[in-house]
Amino acid sequence: GSNEDQIRIGFSQAMTKDDWRRSMNNSMQLQASLYPNIVLTIQDANYEIQKQIDQIEVFIADSVDILIVSPIQSKPITPVVQKALDAGIPVLVVDRKTENQNYTAYLGADNIEVGRNAAKEIIASKAQDRVRIVEIQGMAGSSPAEERTIGFRQVIDQYDNVSIVSQIQGDWEKESIQDKFRAFLQQDGNVDYVFAHNDRMAKGAWEVARELGLEKKMSFIGVDGLNGPNGGIQMVEDGILEATVLYPTGGDEAIKFALGILNNEPVSKNNILSTTVINEVNADIMKNQFDKINEQRTAIETQLTAIHQQRELYYAQNNLLKITMAL
Ligand code: FRU
């Protein structure tokens, strides 16, 4: 028997080892802590499919009020999402999609547009005769990887002089692509652009090119555009990346959406967060904007801590009062 007014949100996170997902979790936690009656439980599947299925099963067995899921891959997570729906639990899918449209709502940036944005950056900055691109893809079977490829090709295919000379299959982490990219560059160093499906793999590709003394010959584009010392925005400022395509985590929005669904507010099925290209033209502006948001977050956190301390003090004094009155 849990408290009647409690809102129990279960979030099944694909993994939490990278800064993007850590930032997503942080903004969810901060947003949730603004509502005293929300209990947010985050489970980290550590990129293990069976673990993610099991964790969702536990959320179903616990009858959480709403489930938020960022699926590792689309197909294997689809049945358990269906199971939650069948059990009457609304499901908000974030960032990566399941296989069909069977969820209460989806929230995330349009990954086809992310791919198109990356391609447009290349087209805009290269008037050169031939442009040879290596595309480094995210994990097979995860929707952002599939959709980024689709969008990228939609634009690139319109230009006869621009071609994708190699596609390297990665798994979102740089270790998955470095040997393959090295092997490719060793037989063909004539590459103008590398488009990697995230900034971590773009950085990994840049490291390999630098090792071979080729990093100045080619330009690198990533995705995510996180703020902070290791993030994509800083890599644009440092000249490692020509550009990164912003992929917002949507952490705050996810909590707001979850509440909207629970309050029976009209919620659209597919909710698209905006994306944009961050390059040397706007990297400073973006950095300043995100810094300001972070300052505000820190201020909110400080205020929340103060409120909690006040509340504890109040209860302590109240207890003291009760004891005194009972004497
Ligand atoms: C984080 C991440 C991001 C990428 C997203 C795609 O785990 O790999 O870098 O944009 O997942 O779902």
Question: What does the pLDDT average to over 261-279?
Answer: 95
β 243-246/277-279 pair status = antiparallel
Q: How far apart are CA 284 and CA 297, in angstroms?
A: 20
pLDDT category, 320, cuts 50, 70, 90? confident
Tell me 175's DSSP state.
Answer: G
| 307 Cβ neighbours under 8 A, 6+ residues apart | none
Q: How far apart are CA 141 and CA 171, in angstroms?
A: 10
| The pLDDT of residue 286 is above 70 | yes
Choose among 13, 75, 88, 79: nearest CA to 47: 13
Contact 94, 68 (CB under 8 A): yes
Q: How far apart are CA 140 and CA 225, in angstroms?
A: 22
Give the tokens for residue 194.
Answer: 């590398």
Q: How far apart are CA 144 and CA 44, in angstroms?
A: 19
For 141-164, the pLDDT digits (tens) are: 999 999 999 999 999 999 999 999
For 25-38, the pLDDT digits (tens) are: 999 999 999 998 99
| The pLDDT of residue 2 is above 60 | no
Choose among 153, 222, 235, 221: nearest CA to 192: 221
Mean pLDDT score of the chain, rounded to an integer?
Answer: 95
Ligand 1 neighbour 146 (Cβ under 6 A): no
| 4 Cβ neighbours under 8 A, 6+ residues apart | none
Query: For residue 1, what pLDDT is reported?
Result: 40
Run of H or E residues at 169: strand 162-169
| Percentage of the residues of the chain whose pLDDT score is greater than 90 | 85
Ligand 1 neighbour 220 (Cβ under 6 A): no
Look-up of token digits 């995230």: 198
C-alpha 304: how far from chain center = 26
| 123 Cβ neighbours under 8 A, 6+ residues apart | 155, 159, 162
Give the tokens for residue 307.
Answer: 């409120």
Q: How far apart are CA 177 and CA 85, in angstroms?
A: 37
Q: Which atom of ligand 1 is the closest one to the Cα of 145? A: 6
| The pLDDT of residue 51 is above 50 | yes
Contact 260, 283 (CB under 8 A): no
| The pLDDT of residue 128 is above 80 | no
Distance 198 CA to ligand 1 centre (A): 7
Look-up of token digits 């590459």: 191
| The pLDDT of residue 4 is above 80 | no
Least confident of 120-129, 175-184, 309-318: 120-129
> 213 in the Ramachandran plot: left (φ > 0), alpha (ψ -120 to 50) or beta?
left
pLDDT category, 3, cuts 50, 70, 90? low
| 128 Cβ neighbours under 8 A, 6+ residues apart | 161, 192
| Percentage of the residues of the chain whose pLDDT score is greater than 70 | 98
Give, for ligand 1, the residue of 95, 96, 244, 249 to mutate: max count of ligand atoms closer than 8 Å to Cβ. 95
Ligand 1 neighbour 93 (Cβ under 6 A): no
Structure pTM? Answer: 0.92
pLDDT category, 127, cuts 50, 70, 90? low
Q: How far apart are CA 243 and CA 283, in angstroms?
A: 9
148-187 core/surface letters (b: 16 or more CB in 10 A; e: else): bbebbbebbeeeeebebebebebbbbbebbbebbeebbee
Give, for ligand 1, the residue of 171, 224, 235, 245 to mutate: max count of ligand atoms closer than 8 Å to Cβ. 224
- ipTM confidence score: 0.97
Give the tokens for residue 88.
Answer: 């009457």
